[in-house]
């Protein structure tokens, strides 16, 4: 048996459902192995569908216990029921009710889709199509119903029972059992259904909305971990307040619950009124969470909360429109975090992550438009392209029409589409309506895969005090002049020796933006009194690759003088990237000196920004800059050498900075952005010092580890030590494991650090980690910490010339695929850039992909990724 390439579902084949479901009444009796779901569906023919069509309900792994139509039992030949579907051959022509009783085994559910148990807690995950693993249903987002859910369970096993919406009743159901009834008045698609039952502790507080509604907000966690739930709860409240001020969006139920579970395929889920989270994005204490964890918790809490409007009140017509909720909601959470923290620092973080994940995706075999036109398995389209490039499109729209028109367009979008399942066209129509603009050319961003290249050149005429900028845009893989151009907002300025040239004017630039909507364009600045350095794509105004040939000296002028913090950082990155790709000692020294001057003048006034300037482009980014023949070892060596050089040249300054920042570090730990920024600069300084002088580095890192009062410093020190082979490293790792032996989320950090050690011995180390008592293949976080960190974060060892790294990941995929196809398929995407590797490595990767492809019974998830990756 050979795995077939799975069939495709296409956007152009969308048609409305033949039936609609207005109400769903559920009576769910939780039981570890035999949970009963008694579902009554109020159905009716859809006027927009085909009259008299048979009814087909989706199912996945279901067992039908009984069925009744309008209260009467059905004849055996009136319907068909299999584990994967229910068919009613001749449905009534008017509204009717269908009562379906199914039985499922939540304990045996290893896919973590549908109803399953995590550490004994019953929970659900229904996006994208998990509801059909609970009962037969029209499991598509354009079928929206009002749900009432009665949950019954053993009181000792599940004292807490949560559902969507508002709690309407609860009480006892016999001696050992109890129940709760939840009603959600807002019609919703099945993917937003959720329930939770288990022993959980909680923290809660009240929030009064702008409309005067009193909301009880609670965060539920494993009992005993309540003291780690406070930060998430605070983030909920800040998110609620922010969505009111920034977008005028109030919350719309009496309860908002967040539940942390330890087995979860993704980050978190926006179920109506009952967000379910991977516990890694809820639990935080100074002893167990880093500054980065706090920031991620804040962002993801906000993200899921913001979905209440962008996703739930206005949902997606079909899964091709996924970016409609995800891109928009990422944009909203990015804006929230920027308001809570430093906007420029956050923007840099956003772009780093876009370049690390989305650019390679868009340049490889898994590339797809932000709105895909076809898919075999929708779970494989929760991608960096849909999420992060999707967010960049929304950001460009705001840049193009301005903040006020953007806000008006958002209001219009929510008003026109509230309670509806919408499309990207509906979204753009709202902005077209409020601005009177034609956005059809802009809409091409949703259709075109690939990262556009923007080439720019400058000519300066001193006699005329005139400067000419010439732009050309092109999309890789799409040649020729017939491809209609994209609309690219180019935020720009001209920078003189002493700063931005304010006297320069150009009729094509408004509010600092030139809109490039042709394949090529030339713009002219007058009043340019000295030869400037162009500062282009300020604040990363569009998701493009910019080609602009500047000298190191010109780039260092931008670092020192530009008014745009993003481009100041970018200038240093550009110089560093070239030095990694083409090492040059003299230029490296000049770069180090320039960084030194930068540090002297402003490191202490903005430590977080300075830490980002000191962080070199990653090995992945260097690989991504090369189109072919990537040798990860060569990149690693060059990057390492540059770090060592910077560490040596800058050492006295780095030590002074460290000492100055140490003084501010005495206060109790606080996760706020300013404190986190000081810690990040101290740790960046130590990292470079260690690169330049490993012996000193090892002893300082060991010292920092010993004195650390919080996980941020502890983990940074451990990470630095992990790169320096020797006894100190092994002792530090052992000490850490012992100290946090009962903390799986902390051990994940320990797993990840070791899986990323760029040494041949890491393969054996991983074999030992997999044998560690805390490791289990059934927990996605553990698998990602060990194997995911290796596959995505250890380029030299994953792409070892002997193929052993590929093989390790392939073995894990093979072992995991049938139990949890989603997580297996996600790991497989690590092979996405295989064709860009140098020939012998690429050949090994290709062999491995073919081996996976040949696995009998390979899941649709993995088969889809393998087929597309092999192309």
Binding site for ligand PHE (CB under 6 A): 125, 127-128, 266, 268-270, 303-304, 326, 382
User: How many whole angstroms separate alpha carbon 573 and alpha carbon 303?
Assistant: 29
CA distances from 846 to 276, 568, 806, 840 (A): 38, 40, 10, 10
CA distances from 309 to 173, 335, 460, 493, 762 (A): 36, 15, 50, 37, 45
- The nearest distance, CB 788 to Zn ion, in angstroms, is 20
Start-to-end Cα distance in the chain: 21
With CB cut-offs between 5 and 8 Å by kind, which of ligand PHE, Zn ion, none does residue 160 bind?
Answer: none
Per-residue binding string, Zn ion, 532-551, x by CB under 5 A, is: --------------------
Task: Name which of residues 288 to 327 contact Zn ion (CB under 5 A).
Answer: 326
**454 near 545, Cβ under 8 Å?**
yes
Q: Which are the contacts of 553, defined by CB distance < 8 A and separation ≥ 6?
A: none
- The nearest distance, CB 219 to Zn ion, in angstroms, is 19
Joined tokens for residue 21: 């479901």
CA distances from 266 to 261, 262, 277, 699 (A): 11, 11, 8, 38
Q: Which of 127, 304, 335, 392 is catalytic?
A: 304
Joined tokens for residue 582: 């083409």
With CB cut-offs between 5 and 8 Å by kind, which of ligand PHE, Zn ion, none does residue 621 bind?
Answer: none
With CB cut-offs between 5 and 8 Å by kind, which of ligand PHE, Zn ion, none does residue 367 bind?
Answer: none
- The nearest distance, CB 304 to ligand PHE, in angstroms, is 5
With CB cut-offs between 5 and 8 Å by kind, which of ligand PHE, Zn ion, none does residue 18 bind?
Answer: none
- The nearest distance, CB 300 to ligand PHE, in angstroms, is 8
- The nearest distance, CB 382 to ligand PHE, in angstroms, is 5
Number of residue whose CB is nearest ligand PHE: 266
With CB cut-offs between 5 and 8 Å by kind, which of ligand PHE, Zn ion, none does residue 382 bind?
Answer: ligand PHE
With CB cut-offs between 5 and 8 Å by kind, which of ligand PHE, Zn ion, none does residue 490 bind?
Answer: none
With CB cut-offs between 5 and 8 Å by kind, which of Zn ion, ligand PHE, none does residue 153 bind?
Answer: none
**163 near 182, Cβ under 8 Å?**
yes
User: How many whole angstroms separate alpha carbon 53 and alpha carbon 783?
Assistant: 45
Nearest residue to 447 (alpha-carbon basis) of 372, 497, 395? 372
Quick one: how far is CA 237 from the chain centroid?
A: 22
User: How many whole angstroms separate alpha carbon 14 and alpha carbon 380?
Assistant: 19
- The nearest distance, CB 130 to ligand PHE, in angstroms, is 8
304 is catalytic: yes
With CB cut-offs between 5 and 8 Å by kind, which of ligand PHE, Zn ion, none does residue 269 bind?
Answer: ligand PHE
With CB cut-offs between 5 and 8 Å by kind, which of ligand PHE, Zn ion, none does residue 266 bind?
Answer: ligand PHE
- The nearest distance, CB 266 to ligand PHE, in angstroms, is 4
Kindly write down the DSSP assignment for every residue of 681-713, as one continuous string: HHHHHHHHHHHH-HHHHHHHHHHHHHH--SHHH
- Alpha helices by DSSP H, listed for 307-379, are 322-340, 343-353, 359-363
| Residue placing its CB nearer to ligand PHE in the complex, 67 or 384 | 384
**147 near 192, Cβ under 8 Å?**
no
With CB cut-offs between 5 and 8 Å by kind, which of Zn ion, ligand PHE, none does residue 268 bind?
Answer: ligand PHE
- The nearest distance, CB 273 to ligand PHE, in angstroms, is 15
| Residue placing its CB nearer to ligand PHE in the complex, 128 or 240 | 128
| Residue placing its CB nearer to ligand PHE in the complex, 381 or 790 | 381
**108 near 283, Cβ under 8 Å?**
no
SS3 (DSSP) at 379: helix
| Residue placing its CB nearer to ligand PHE in the complex, 179 or 381 | 381
For the chain, state the CA radius of gyration: 28
Q: Which are the contacts of 110, defined by CB distance < 8 A and separation ≥ 6?
A: 116, 778, 819, 820
Residue 474 phi, psi dihedral angles, 5° rounding: -150, 150
| Residue placing its CB nearer to Zn ion in the complex, 311 or 692 | 311
Kindly write down the DSSP assignment for every residue of 43-81, as one continuous string: EEE-TTS-TTPPEEEE-SS-EEEEEEETTEEPPGGGEEE
| Residue placing its CB nearer to Zn ion in the complex, 325 or 538 | 325
- The nearest distance, CB 304 to Zn ion, in angstroms, is 7
Nearest residue to 155 (alpha-carbon basis) of 178, 171, 173? 178
| Residue placing its CB nearer to ligand PHE in the complex, 152 or 270 | 270
- The nearest distance, CB 821 to ligand PHE, in angstroms, is 13
Give me the residue label for tokens 């008694």: 38
| Residue placing its CB nearer to Zn ion in the complex, 311 or 344 | 311
541-557 burial, b at 16+ Cβ within 10 Å, e below that, comes to bbbbbbebebebebbbb
| Residue placing its CB nearer to ligand PHE in the complex, 100 or 297 | 297
Nearest residue to 326 (alpha-carbon basis) of 312, 344, 343? 312
| Residue placing its CB nearer to ligand PHE in the complex, 421 or 690 | 421
Q: Which are the contacts of 293, defined by CB distance < 8 A and separation ≥ 6?
A: 280, 284, 711
Residues near Zn ion (CB under 5 A): 326, 329
Catalytic residue annotation: 304
């Amino acid at each position: 048996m050979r795995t077939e390439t799975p069939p495709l579902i296409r956007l152009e084949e969308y048609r409305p459902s033949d039936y609609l479901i207005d109400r769903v009444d559920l009576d769910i009796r939780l039981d570890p192995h035999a949970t009963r779901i008694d579902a009554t569906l109020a159905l009716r023919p859809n006027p927009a569908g085909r009259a008299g069509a048979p009814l087909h309900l989706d199912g996945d792994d279901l067992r039908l216990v009984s069925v009744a139509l309008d209260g009467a039992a059905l004849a055996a030949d009136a319907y068909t029921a299999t584990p994967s579907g229910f068919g009613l051959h001749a449905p009534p022509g008017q509204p009717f009710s269908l009562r379906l009783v199914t039985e499922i085994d939540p304990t045996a559910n290893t896919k973590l889709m549908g109803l399953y148990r995590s550490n004994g807690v019953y929970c659900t995950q229904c996006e994208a199509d998990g509801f059909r693993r609970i009962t037969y249903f029209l499991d598509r987002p354009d079928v929206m119903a009002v749900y009432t859910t009665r949950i019954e369970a053993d009181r000792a096993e599940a004292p807490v029972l949560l559902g969507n919406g508002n709690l309407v009743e609860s009480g006892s159901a016999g001696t050992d059992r109890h129940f709760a009834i939840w009603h959600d008045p807002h019609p919703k698609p099945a993917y937003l259904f959720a329930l939770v039952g288990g022993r959980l502790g909680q923290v809660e507080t009240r929030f009064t909305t702008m409309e005067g509604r009193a909301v009880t907000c609670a965060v539920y966690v494993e009992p005993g971990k309540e003291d780690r739930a406070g930060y998430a709860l605070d983030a909920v409240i800040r998110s609620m307040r922010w969505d009111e001020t920034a977008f005028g969006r109030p919350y719309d139920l009496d309860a908002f619950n967040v539940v942390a579970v330890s087995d979860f395929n993704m980050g978190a889920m926006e179920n109506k009124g009952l967000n379910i989270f991977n516990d890694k994005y809820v639990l935080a204490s100074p002893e167990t969470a880093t500054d980065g964890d706090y920031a991620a918790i804040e962002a993801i809490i906000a993200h899921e909360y913001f979905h209440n409007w962008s996703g739930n009140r206005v949902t997606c017509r079909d899964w091709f429109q996924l970016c409609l909720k995800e891109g928009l909601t990422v944009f909203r959470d990015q804006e929230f975090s920027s308001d809570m923290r430093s906007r420029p620092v956050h923007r840099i973080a956003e772009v780093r992550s876009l370049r690390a994940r989305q650019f390679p995706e868009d340049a490889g075999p898994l590339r797809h438009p932000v709105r895909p036109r076809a898919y075999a398995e929708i779970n494989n389209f929760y991608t960096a392209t849909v999420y992060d490039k999707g967010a960049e499109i929304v950001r460009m729209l705001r840049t193009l029409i301005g903040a006020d028109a953007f806000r008006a367009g958002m209001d219009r979008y929510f008003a026109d589409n509230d309670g509806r399942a919408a499309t990207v066209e509906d979204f753009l129509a709202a902005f077209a309506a409020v601005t009177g603009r034609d956005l059809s050319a802009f809409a091409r961003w949703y259709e075109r895969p690939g990262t556009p290249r923007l080439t720019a050149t400058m000519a300066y005429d001193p006699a005329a005090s005139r400067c000419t900028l010439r732009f050309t845009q092109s999309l890789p893989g799409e040649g020729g002049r017939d491809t209609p151009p994209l609309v690219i907002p180019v935020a720009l300025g001209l920078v003189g020796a002493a700063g931005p040239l304010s006297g320069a004017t150009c009729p094509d630039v408004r509010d600092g933006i030139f809109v490039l909507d042709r394949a090529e364009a030339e713009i002219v600045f007058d009043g340019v009194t000295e030869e400037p350095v162009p500062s282009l794509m300020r604040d990363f105004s569009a998701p493009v690759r910019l080609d602009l040939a500047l000298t190191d000296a010109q780039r260092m002028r931008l670092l020192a003088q530009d008014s745009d913090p993003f481009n100041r950082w970018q200038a240093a990155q550009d110089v560093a990237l070239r030095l990694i790709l083409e090492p040059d000692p003299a230029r490296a020294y000049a770069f180090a000196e320039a960084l030194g001057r930068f540090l002297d003048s402003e490191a202490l006034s903005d430590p977080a920004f300075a830490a980002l300037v000191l962080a070199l482009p990653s090995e992945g980014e260097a690989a991504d800059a090369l189109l072919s023949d990537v040798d990860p070892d060569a990149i690693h060596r060059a990057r390492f050498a540059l770090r060592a050089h910077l560490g040596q040249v800058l050492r006295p300054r780095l030590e002074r900075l460290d000492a100055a920042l140490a003084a501010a570090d005495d206060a109790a730990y606080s996760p706020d952005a300013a404190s986190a920024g000081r810690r990040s600069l101290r740790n960046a300084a130590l990292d470079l010092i260690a690169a330049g002088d490993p012996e000193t580095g090892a002893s300082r890192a060991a010292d920092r580890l010993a004195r650390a009062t919080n996980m941020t410093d502890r983990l940074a020190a451990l990470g630095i030590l992990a790169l320096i082979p020797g006894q100190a490293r092994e002792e530090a790792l052992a000490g850490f494991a012992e100290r946090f032996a009962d903390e799986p989320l902390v051990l994940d950090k320990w797993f990840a650090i070791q899986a990323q050690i760029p040494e041949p011995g890491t393969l054996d180390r991983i074999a030992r980690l997999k044998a560690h008592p805390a490791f289990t293949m059934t927990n996605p976080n553990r698998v990602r910490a060990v194997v995911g960190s290796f596959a995505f974060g250890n380029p030299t060892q994953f792409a070892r010339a002997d193929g052993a790294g590929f093989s390790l990941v392939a073995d894990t995929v093979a072992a995991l695929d049938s139990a949890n196809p989603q997580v297996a398929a996600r790991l497989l995407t690590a092979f996405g850039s295989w064709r860009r590797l140098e020939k012998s490595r690429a050949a090994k990767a290709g062999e491995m992909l073919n081996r996976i492809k040949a696995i009998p019974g390979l899941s649709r998830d993995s088969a889809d990724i393998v087929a597309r990756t092999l192309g």
